[in-house]
Amino acid sequence: MNIEQIYTGCLAQGAYYIESKGEVAIIDPLRETHPYLAKAENDKATIKYIFETHFHADFVSGHLELAKKTGATIVYGPGAKTSYDIHEAHDEEIFELGDVKIKVLHTPGHTPESSTFLLIDEQGNEHAIFSGDTLFIGDVGRPDLAVKSDLSQEDLAGMLFESLREKIMTLPDNVIVYPAHGAGSACGKNMSKETTDLLGNQKKVNYALRADMTKEEFIKEVTEGILPPPQYFAKNAMLNKTGVDSLDNVMAKGNVALDVETFEAMANHEGALVLDTRHQTNFINGFIPNSIFIGVDGSFAPWVGALIADLQQPIVLVVDEGREEEVITRLSRVGYDNTLGYLKGGIEAWKAAGKEVDSLVSVSAGVLKEKLETESINVLDVRKPGEYQAEHIEKAKNTPLDFINNEMHRIDKETEYYVHCAGGYRSVIFASILKSRGFDKVIDVAGGFGAIVKEGIPVTDFVCPSTLD
């Protein structure tokens, strides 16, 4: 038996490859199928099953394309209804895989169809659980992503309480927990940076598995402090129910080099969004007017999903040479399949053609300190509410990047703003969006809050985030 966790850091997502006696099961695959096909080929094995723990909201799964390429059966838990053929498993149904077995445990709560897959080894021992978004390391799945007219988040939280206590906590302490996500995912509140653990340890340290917790306490703790889900979550969940175009087709359409004139025409006349994925320092120094910065070396796909409202938005790219395919693939992971091409030769080709170039004003934390001491200035802190509440510049206003599309009415085009985040990535995204909408008095603070603290700018007393509501 071989178990491999295939972890994708930018999505904080874990897919799984399980092989026994030449038969393979894939759990929660990403959109691109090559890694799974390559592993199976290397093992001289056949992919027999594709298990989905639930309808994922934070990424588009590769289950359909993988099934078409391998003939594998797609397995969901009870209650999953799709527009394509699946095997809808019943609770405690067992699937044979070589010398091991995979048992379906229906664990509703994160979503109604959520299921945990229990791996039983060659000796018949309960070896591991693939818990999807039911149980994370240090947390559990948020219960507000599948709310229906007859099912509140409190209802789902109650179901999750029962699922954990009846199906998960009754398993042996030496069972290994393999979750679908780790720290950085918006599918939970406070996940650990660790991506696996023993169930026995989780029973000791995970607040949601406290043995003496009442159902009412659980519901209160799980539902308190949940930020609104990113706007693309519901859209991705629907794509996973109905199916998407082949990634091969998406790449064929998007991985196209565009000359300057064609690129400009697409942006000006065909409504394409210019998305600049270079490092923020390079963007600050020169970019195509009205383009949006979301750097590929940050949490690229989640920020695209949070900030670009239309999954069908035509997109043309400014990208570092050699990273075109990577960027298009990462866009497709969250359902943005309408990339039309990239600027051949990048920003240098644009400049060489004599086209207009814009730039951002960026200052050091030292300059910000001097301004704060000598002038009355406006500071926008674009970090998440919890980061802001923990510690911030006294007079800074919290305007989280996550909610910029809902907060535009609070920002005045005639007012000068100094914008910072934690390290300098989010503030440039924020500033680029404002610039593209005609806000010209935006100044980025390089290095963000880390540089602000290092510079000795006065900030509020630190409040441990774990004590915040």
Which residues fall within 8 angstroms of residue 399, CB to CB, at 6 or more apart?
380, 381, 382, 407, 410, 411, 430
pLDDT at 149: 60
Given pLDDT bands bounded at 50, 70 and 90, which one contains residue 148?
low
For residues 286 and 42, what is the distance between their CA atoms, to the nearest angstrom?
45
Given pLDDT bands bounded at 50, 70 and 90, which one contains residue 146?
confident
pLDDT at 468: 43
Mean of all residue pLDDT scores within the chain: 95
Mean pLDDT of 107-114: 96
152-167 confidence digits (pLDDT tens): 899 999 999 999 999 9
47-83 confidence digits (pLDDT tens): 999 999 999 999 999 999 999 999 999 999 999 999 9
Q: Is the pLDDT of residue 24 over 90?
A: yes
Q: Is the pLDDT of residue 341 over 80?
A: yes
353-410 confidence digits (pLDDT tens): 999 999 999 999 999 999 999 999 999 999 999 899 999 999 899 999 999 988 899 9
